[in-house]
Amino acid sequence: MPVTDENVRSDLYEPADFNVKYQVIASIVEPGAKVLDVGCASGFLAEYLVRNMNCHVIGIELDPISAERARSRCQRVVVGDVTDPAIIEQISGHYDYVIFADVIEHLPDPEGVLIRAREWIGENGLVIISLPNIAYYRIRLHLLRGKFEYRDIGIMDRTHLRFYTKASAKQFIESCGLRVLRTEPIFVKPKDAALGPLFPTLFAYIFVFVCEKNTGETPAEMNNLP
């Protein structure tokens, strides 16, 4: 089922359905994998991975109410900020997958977090990142009309601190010492999906990036990590 404008905001907490974005993310994960779900919200993705794919999922969630619900869905939930050294110590280790589902755009220091995530994945581990597409055609139309208005939900969510196109997101991710292996576009409406394969950067509402560690490049910021 497609993501809709109506449920995009609730995706951060408890979506009404396991929509296409989460289906795509889940399809990337191998059964039995060890997973770190950063910003796990109430644990709806973790629940699917545990029940249907026998994964071992550790969640981290800033909101204590969401985290409390996630406890019954994850093997373990750490409550706190992913940039907090005390929290980092609790989740450090090697994972098969580190997932950031609509999280990076909310962080004040996304670079530092992704550089750290590079060290959380094992030799063959993957980082999975979903990001809203600021170049979505409806946003472009608003800009043509001179409008850049924040909203309570969607791409222009007022809690977003960063905005990315497909190209700028890829550049940003790879500057953090990761290599983007592939990108999956997520379409909102049937007409978007029909035209999307021809113009994905125009009609994709969200992009999912599948990344591995770039072993040939170590970000300079790594030297400054505690």
Q: What is the crossing angle of helices 44-53 and 20-28, to 10°?
A: 50
Residue 163 domain boundaries = 9-215
CATH label of the domain that carries residue 45: 3.40.50.150
In a domain, 170, yes or no: yes
Flag whether 223 is in a domain.
no
CA 78 to CA 134: how far, in whole Å? 31
Q: In this predicted structure, what is the pLDDT of residue 223? A: 53
pLDDT of amino acid 3: 36
Per-residue pLDDT tens for 105-146? 999 999 999 999 999 998 899 999 999 999 999 999 999 999
**Residue stretches of the chain with pLDDT short of 70:** 1-18, 217-226
Residue 85 lies in a domain: yes
What is the pLDDT, as a whole number, of residue 2?
35
With respect to residue 174, please indicate whether it lies within any of the assigned structural domains.
Answer: yes
Q: Is 222 among the domain residues?
A: no
Number of domains present in the structure of the chain: 1
pLDDT at 67: 93
- Say what the pLDDT of residue 13 is: 47
- 191 assigned to some structural domain: yes
- In this predicted structure, what is the pLDDT of residue 5? 38
Q: Rounded to whole angstroms, how far apart are CA atoms 137 and 205?
A: 9
pLDDT of residue 123: 85
Q: Is residue 220 assigned to a domain?
A: no
Residue 179, domain member (yes or no):
yes
